[in-house]
Structure 1
Amino acid sequence: MQNLYTTPEAARETGIPESTIRSWMRRHPEVFQVDIHVAIDEHGQKLWTDAGVEMLRAHRASKTATDDDAEIDAESDAPDLLESLLEEDAQRLANEYWRLLPGRTLQRIKQMRDNPTPEQRQIVQLSVRAAINAGTEHLLLPTYQPMLLEGGDETD
């Protein structure tokens, strides 16, 4: 079961002031996905999920905190929040893309083999012809011509 945190609890967990968290929610509602980062109960109260608290922590960790920076300025920090979220999500997407690519590629190759479209059929035919030509090209090289001629003389 997933833990749910009120905004004051999320603030204590992350070390980010409540007002900053609320400001981020208000200014960037598209960043915080319902049922992923926040849950909304039957009374309309927003509760932070473990993933939401982790996202807030990651953002807090990405900040270069100084003693004077104890209170985060929500307005000036918004571009940093979005950038860190974009970077994190872009990295996750790239990792997932490369993880799924081999299986998806094999799936498409089987589909092209078993049920090709006319365009795919043409691509496969050209590819097979190119592979055959590449494999027999050595027969046409000048260094092999005397051997072919000699072999031809023996059968005459």
Structure 2
Amino acid sequence: MQNLYTTPEAAKLTNIPESTIRSWLRRYPEVFQFEVHVISDEHGQKLWTESGIELLHSRRASKTATDDDAEIDAESDAPNLLESLLEEDAQRLANEYWRLLPGRTLQRIKQMRDNPTPEQRQIVQTSVRAALNAGTEHLLLPTYQPRFLEGGDETD
């Protein structure tokens, strides 16, 4: 099995700034081949292969980064950084939401039971009636109705 490296690890190995590596990957997709130089893991994280590290070394040797390149790299990485932060925060918020939901729901149910607003009282009464009706619905089916409810005599 071959060694795989994260972009920060690839940056340390090659002495190329992470932002430059990411920029090159984005700007030159024809140079960096997926499944050869870079692979994505199950979480979508890009991992560099040994072959990818060699390619980065060769690009570094053939291309000297100017200050203009670094500025362009930083500007073009801003949307990726923002997207990365948003994705991480959204995931944390979703996890926290689902973790807190059961307890918060139970808390609200107890509050509605113990100290309901007029609207909540109406909701609870409607729900209780619906539950009782659902539980007694079988009594209203024609096969179970006593004959006297149909207008006939039970003794017929």
**TM-score between the two structures when normalised by the length of structure 2:** 0.52
Does the 8 Å CA contact 1:62/1:84 hold for their aligned counterparts?
no
Change (3 A) 1:111 1:148: farther
User: What is the aligned partner in structure 1 of residue 86 from structure 2?
Assistant: 86
Alignment of 1:43-122 (within 5 A): 62=45, 67=56, 68=59, 73-122=73-122
Displacement after TM superposition at 1:145 (Å): 2.2
Letter of the structure 2 residue corresponding to residue 112 of structure 1:
M
Structure 1 unaligned spans of 5+: 1-10, 21-60
In 2, Cα distance between equivalents of 1:85 and 1:62: 14
Matched, 1:144 2:144: yes
**TM-score between the two structures when normalised by the length of structure 1:** 0.52
User: What is the aligned partner in structure 2 of residue 133 from structure 1?
Assistant: 133
User: What is the aligned partner in structure 2 of residue 123 from structure 1?
Assistant: 123
Root mean square deviation of aligned Cα = 3.6
Task: Tell me how many residue pairs correspond in the alignment.
Answer: 100
Q: What SS class does the counterpart of residue 116 from structure 1 fall into?
A: coil
Does the 8 Å CA contact 1:112/1:120 hold for their aligned counterparts?
yes
Structure 2 unaligned spans of 5+: 1-7, 20-43
Does the 8 Å CA contact 1:112/1:121 hold for their aligned counterparts?
yes
In 2, Cα distance between equivalents of 1:76 and 1:138: 67
Runs of 4 or more, structure 1, over 2 Å off, are 14-18, 61-66, 145-149
